[in-house]
Structure 1
Amino acid sequence: MKAIISRFAAGYIWLVYRTSRWQVINAELPHQFIKEKKPFIMAFWHGRLLMMPTCVTDGAKAHVMISHHGDGELIARTIEHWGLHSVRGSSSKGALGAIKGMLQIIRKNEICVITPDGPRGPRMRAQDGIARIASMSGVPVFPSAFSTSRGRRLKSWDRFMLAKPFSRGVIIWGDPIYVPKKLDDEGLLRARNEIESSLNYITQEADRLCGQVPVEPAEEVIDPTQGEKVK
């Protein structure tokens, strides 16, 4: 059953992509990295997962970090139809193994793809893993996002964007973010916040360009025992 569903999902992505008119913004540098086979980390929010396989085609070798949780196996099978590979793990389970796997991929001059708020959220709030991988590897993070003029927002935790065929679509790449090596906790927090801010800006800008109401990040809450914001 998962094989059938994944094939259908891959076909749906192809249908939306081929029947829609796409504007791609600020893609020159990441496309140059792909052409020159330079490694980088591609980041987008979990709710914008649907159309992102279309961004790393043209023979690029890309590996997506996919959790063991929930729909991970279905997502892994779906992206295989687009020539993408998966590394299993997340910030909540299998994190160490996933980080090691991503670093090995980068050493082979291939692309890592990460949803920094997956697999469970909070929505549009980056976790530590992406900043750690960027710091340890020295390669840039390229934030990315898409939106379409026709689509449905699911009532899931990530407000998943289900794009529809015959749309006007926008794909935006953010400027590269380089994370210094050997960061302390404060430095890691700054890097994580920079990635999060860039992702939120381009995601909301893509929505505005497509006439959609921008999705807001999940609210930060105060830890009553520490008096600090937690995500």
Structure 2
Amino acid sequence: MADFWYRCAVATVPRLVYGLSRLWFATCTVKVREEVSSRAFLQTGDTAIAAFWHYSFFFLFHYFREYRAAVMVSASKDGEYIARLAQLMGYVPVRGSSNRAGAKALRDMISQLRRGNNCAVVADGSQGPARKAQPGCILMASRSGKPIVPFVWAADRTLIFKSWDRTVVPLPFATVVLRVGEPLWIPPDITKAQVEIYRRELEDELNRLYNAVWHEVGRGPHDEVRERNGQGKV
């Protein structure tokens, strides 16, 4: 019986979420802030690896849905909801994480890059710790020859969930500011020590952008603030 209800939920919930999100986010105003080098790279039309923190995935799924991209999604049962939602939005879901089917997922993502697809990776993984970069996308960039482009967003009015990453959803009619960092190029055949160096560089850049974008919307770090005017929490 539990499997029956799970199958029903997986078949219906992603469709409901997809429809609601299109209506919800259509009311938001989006302002994009690009580094000079990121703007120049994006204008080339070349493929890249988009990296972002887990808290921000839901809005970014919506924002980038018109781009041809593969996204890494957890291999867990709960990840099936996200995989179905990704498919509805036009993405190619690749199942795997640092704990389950990680090596195969990494190979599949590299294959997608070589086919001319962009890839999107949650830099802090499916289980965290929050805002601590994992090495997966560094290896992906090294083996594919494609750069990592960091993306971070914040909004002046948000709904913040009490999850491990404090998942954020902009409230209707919110102003969303999206910051795009400089492309990070990783040399091929890097050593384990070099992986750690670049991992820290990516983490520092994402957190630099994170602090800047939340400051721009007049808010402190979303995972430290408490409930106040203009902010909801569930």
The verdict on a shared fold, with TM-score over 0.5 as the criterion, is yes
Aligned CA distance change for structure 1 residues 206 and 66 (closer, same or farther; 3 Å): same
Partner of 1:225: none
Query: 1:146–1:206: 8 Å Cα contact kept in structure 2?
Result: yes
Partner of 1:23: 31
- In structure 2, C-alpha distance between the alignment counterparts of 1:70 and 1:164, rounded to whole Å: 28
Partner of 1:148: 155
- Could you tell me which amino acid in structure 2 is paired with residue 187 of structure 1? Q
Post-superposition offset of 1:70: 4.9
The TM-score, its normalising length taken from structure 2, stands at 0.85
1:1-231 matches, cutoff 5 A:
1-26=9-34, 28-29=39-40, 31-33=42-44, 36=45, 38-58=46-66, 60-215=67-222
Query: 1:30–1:142: 8 Å Cα contact kept in structure 2?
Result: no
- In structure 2, C-alpha distance between the alignment counterparts of 1:15 and 1:204, rounded to whole Å: 29
- Could you tell me which amino acid in structure 2 is paired with residue 22 of structure 1? V
Post-superposition offset of 1:216: 5.8
- In structure 2, C-alpha distance between the alignment counterparts of 1:3 and 1:165, rounded to whole Å: 26
Aligned residues: 213
**For 2:202, what is the secondary structure of its paired residue?**
helix
- Could you tell me which amino acid in structure 1 is paired with residue 129 of structure 2? P
- Could you tell me which amino acid in structure 2 is paired with residue 2 of structure 1? V
Deviations 1:100-124 (A, max 9, x none): 1011111111101100212100001
The TM-score, its normalising length taken from structure 1, stands at 0.86
The answer for unaligned runs of 5 or more in structure 1 is 218-231
Deviations 1:104-146 (A, max 9, x none): 1111111011002121000011111111111111110000011
The answer for unaligned runs of 5 or more in structure 2 is 1-8, 225-234
**For 1:49, what is the secondary structure of its paired residue?**
helix
Post-superposition offset of 1:161: 0.6
Aligned CA distance change for structure 1 residues 30 and 149 (closer, same or farther; 3 Å): farther
- In structure 1, C-alpha distance between the alignment counterparts of 2:53 and 2:218, rounded to whole Å: 19
**For 2:207, what is the secondary structure of its paired residue?**
helix
Post-superposition offset of 1:168: 0.8
- In structure 2, C-alpha distance between the alignment counterparts of 1:114 and 1:193, rounded to whole Å: 16
Post-superposition offset of 1:196: 0.8
Query: 1:15–1:165: 8 Å Cα contact kept in structure 2?
Result: no
- In structure 2, C-alpha distance between the alignment counterparts of 1:182 and 1:120, rounded to whole Å: 27
Post-superposition offset of 1:215: 3.8
- Could you tell me which amino acid in structure 2 is paired with residue 49 of structure 1? F
**For 1:78, what is the secondary structure of its paired residue?**
helix
- In structure 2, C-alpha distance between the alignment counterparts of 1:25 and 1:213, rounded to whole Å: 19
- In structure 1, C-alpha distance between the alignment counterparts of 2:41 and 2:161, rounded to whole Å: 30
Partner of 2:6: none
- In structure 2, C-alpha distance between the alignment counterparts of 1:183 and 1:2, rounded to whole Å: 40
Q: Percent identity?
A: 30
- In structure 1, C-alpha distance between the alignment counterparts of 2:50 and 2:63, rounded to whole Å: 10
**For 1:51, what is the secondary structure of its paired residue?**
helix
**For 1:19, what is the secondary structure of its paired residue?**
coil
